[in-house]
Amino acid sequence: MKRLFLFLITIGILLTSTACWNNRDLTELSIATAFGIDRTKDGKTMVSVQIVKPSEAQAGGKEGGGGSKKGFVVVSNTADTVFGALREMLSKVNNKIFYSSSQIIVIGEDAARDGIEDFLDFTLRDHETQFKQLVIVSKGVTAKEILEQEYDLSKVPGAYLRDTVNNIEARGFSKSMMLIEVARELATEGRELCMGTVQKKGTTTDISGIAVFLMDKLVGWLDPFESRGYMFVMGRVKSTLLEVDDPQKPDKQVGIEIQKTSSERKLEWTKNGKPSFTVKIKVQGNIGEQYGGHGAMKETEILKAVTESCNNKIKREALLAIRKCQAEYKSDILGFGMKVFDDTPNYWKSIRDKWNSDFFPNIEVNVEVESKILRSGLLDKPIEVQ
């Protein structure tokens, strides 16, 4: 009797301590693959959700004739808050919206300029949203328009956008940011937020460039090459192609395939007590293509010249990005402030509030690049056309 009692108590404690109470079947869910957040003219929040029809998204023409149908719908709703808009969406959608499968959050340009902190609160607070989903800013179009974009290659636009962002991040032309990283960068002292941008180009979307934020507000853009400069400074470029002039025929190009980058930064103090930085970028790459055929130079000389121009090009791009952030946006997305904070916390305390406005735009930044070209692919010289 006593043992039975103990057993029941144990089970009781186990059952009441914590549990997932909501048993929902897969068929009772509307599967969201992307979110869009826009700011309407009257200052309200418009949330758009891209909902896929799994059988359409899955079929891919398997069941004959299904191939031409659109696999998703975009539903939007306007309210004062994100959560409010989502909740009221049930008047337009039959099943409860399942947020966890969302792949990407698109923030409209207007919404981003007004500040994203309020939008992020819900996405971080709710237990169903995935911290792994990407966040991106739409440039020149509303988020809803991006969500409504159809793609020929995929019936799940959310997943298509996510894959594209991740691919372009490796090239260095944009930056892929997960929701959790956005939150981390927002909360990091001495470093401003920046993330990838998406825009509409012709009948499809194009992901390139970086949106620069100051605090939580969008202040401007970096073009693709500035973006790559930024990515070189951060050491985040994984695989990109640098086109430099052929040392033998300056009108022709040599493509360098960058395979490995790393960067280091060093804080130095100038004579008048201001911080200055030296960024050291190390790059490894191969010769991917060479136009212009044969010339008179020796291979070692070519290599030396190509390495040199590679260094210059990376340095130029990096400086472009740094100067633009310093002069135009006054936003330290490169995280130099973090280094100051780490090295001299007390000094940082005194300049923290003025860092972006007074200090960062004026600090001196030197960029040193060290490239190594290791291989030349399967050919050591271009073929000789005779």
Per CB under 8 A, the list member of 100, 154, 278, 376 interacting with other proteins is 100
Q: d(Cα 215, Cα 217) in Å, to the nearest integer?
A: 6
**Which of 24, 375 has the CB closer to other proteins?**
24
Residues 8-37 that bind other proteins (CB under 8 A): 11, 14-15, 18-20, 22-27, 29, 31
> Is residue 130 at the binding interface for other proteins, with CB under 8 A as the rule?
yes
> What stretch of H or E contains 361?
none
Q: Where are the alpha helices (H) located in 188-263, listed in sequence order? A: 224-234
> Is residue 52 at the binding interface for other proteins, with CB under 8 A as the rule?
yes
Least Cβ distance, residue 265 to other proteins (angstroms): 36
Per CB under 8 A, the list member of 75, 79, 98, 284 interacting with other proteins is 98
Cβ(287)–Cβ(373) below 8 Å? yes
**Which of 40, 95 has the CB closer to other proteins?**
95
> Is residue 159 at the binding interface for other proteins, with CB under 8 A as the rule?
yes
Per CB under 8 A, the list member of 77, 101, 164, 290 interacting with other proteins is 101
The closest alpha carbon to 236, from 173, 312, 288, belongs to 173
Q: Which residues contact 64 (CB under 8 A, 6 or more apart)?
A: none
> Is residue 126 at the binding interface for other proteins, with CB under 8 A as the rule?
no
Q: Which residue in this structure is represented by tokens 């002069």?
A: 327
The gap from C-alpha 176 to its chain's centroid, in whole angstroms, comes to 2
Applying CB under 8 A, the span of 53-61, 72-80, 166-174, 271-279 interacting with other proteins comes to 53-61
Q: Residue 68 burial (CB < 10 Å; 0-12/13-18/19+)? A: exposed
φ and ψ at 95, to 5 degrees? -110, 160
> Is residue 1 at the binding interface for other proteins, with CB under 8 A as the rule?
no
Give contact residues for other proteins (rule: CB under 8 A). Answer: 11, 14-15, 18-20, 22-27, 29, 31, 52, 54-55, 57-59, 98, 100-101, 103, 128, 130, 156, 159
